Amino acid sequence: MRIVVILVAAVLMTACESEPSGPPVVVYATAESGSDLDKLFAEFTAETGIRVSVIRGDSASNTDNLINNADKPADVLITTNVADIWRAAEAGALRPIRAAEFADVERTLKDPDGFWAAIEIRQHAIANAKGDLRPIVGDFDTLASPDLRGKLCLSTSELSINRSLIAMLINDRGEKPTERLLRSWIQNLAAPPFASQEALLAALRDGRCDYGIVEWHPDNNDMTFFVPEPSYMDIDGIGVARHARQPESAQRLVGWLLKRKNIRVSGAPEKQPVGVAGWRDEDARLLAERAGYH
């Protein structure tokens, strides 16, 4: 009888350990992160017993709230661009990531001081509609050629994906060469810059533009993409709040996501760190204005 009682107690203890308990990890995330991230949070809770509570807002507002230690404090910040996660680190709103999994993140996809890392990447690509018989354009300089006058389309420079490209071009080439490049792109436009990448892709599909600069995405299988070298990108970034109320659970969640995502970038190892796009974000915005890229 005593053995039976011990076995029953052990089963009950195991069941209790698998059930969520204690205060949740509070995460600032965006609506764009959507159901995929929610599924990962559910799996994390099932594995660890640590609950996750999500506060949704746009990436910039979430970052501002974290910096200002708003009324609804968070333990973890997830942004949809490198500029916001970089800004949070610069403002002292993040603490170093202590999770062991951080060491396995590629050098180009994390903060050298350990405050943030990428959990998604979006590479910049040149696209045209699949089945289009026009030659594939393999670099950004060719898009500036007078031969492509009236054949190029862009989305607005207000989108972080485009500002990250401009910022990384500035870092690679300098401001004057990058401004000349952008001015040439503007001269080659078939239509004013679109408000979204979705609108730009629609214009490529219906033939209003021959070429466009977009983020490569595998779901857009009706497009032909070419990713120039060196590759440029934007990211979804993640970091632990400096004023986290559940710091240990937050570190555990960040490490779990980094391991689960296991982001890798193909290409030369000497490619520039994505953090430069955060550092030069304001330079990119001002240069786009000067070049007439709105």
Taking the C-alpha atoms of 149, 155, 157 and 161 in order, what is their torsion angle to the nearest 10 degrees?
-120
- N-terminal to C-terminal alpha carbon distance within the chain: 78
What is the pTM for the complete model shown?
Answer: 0.89
Beta bridge partners of 153: 212
Out of 68-72, 130-134, 193-197, 268-272, least confident range: 268-272
Beta bridge partners of 52: 25
What the block records as the tokens of 92 is 């002292």
Spatial neighbors of 192 by CB under 8 A, at least 6 apart, are 294
Q: State the pLDDT at residue 35.
A: 74
**Residues 169-187: what's their mean pLDDT?**
97
**Residue from 211, 187, 158, 161 nearest 203 by CA:** 211
**Residues 60-73: what's their mean pLDDT?**
90
Query: Helix (H, G, I), strand (E, B), or coil: what is residue 163?
Result: helix
Q: What is the CATH number of domain 122-232+277-290?
A: 3.40.190.10
DSSP 110: B
Do domains 2-121+234-264 and 122-232+277-290 share one topology? The answer is yes
Beta bridge partners of 227: none
Percent of the residues in the chain that have a pLDDT greater than 70, as a whole number: 90
What the block records as the tokens of 176 is 């004057």
Cβ contact 265:105 at 8 Å: no
Q: What is the amino acid identity at position 163? A: R
What the block records as the tokens of 69 is 């230690």
**Residues 260-265: what's their mean pLDDT?**
84
Cβ contact 74:66 at 8 Å: yes
Domain coordinates of the chain in residue numbers?
A: 2-121+234-264, 122-232+277-290
Q: Where are the alpha helices (DSSP H) in 78-138?
A: 82-90
Q: State the pLDDT at residue 99.
A: 96
Distance between CA atoms of residues 283 and 165, nearest Å: 12
Q: In angstroms, what CA-CA distances link 252 with 25, 51, 243, 288?
A: 10, 12, 16, 40
Q: State the pLDDT at residue 230.
A: 85
Tens of pLDDT, residue by residue over 238-256, are 999 999 999 999 999 999 9
Q: State the pLDDT at residue 16.
A: 41
Cβ contact 52:24 at 8 Å: yes
Distance between CA atoms of residues 85 and 77, nearest Å: 8
Any idea what the Cα angle at residue 37 is, between residues 36 and 39, rounded to 5°? Answer: 70
Pick left, alpha or beta for residue 75 (phi over 0 → left; psi -120 to 50 → alpha; otherwise beta).
alpha
Q: What is the CATH number of domain 2-121+234-264?
A: 3.40.190.10
Does the pLDDT of residue 6 top 70, yes or no? no
Beta bridge partners of 138: none
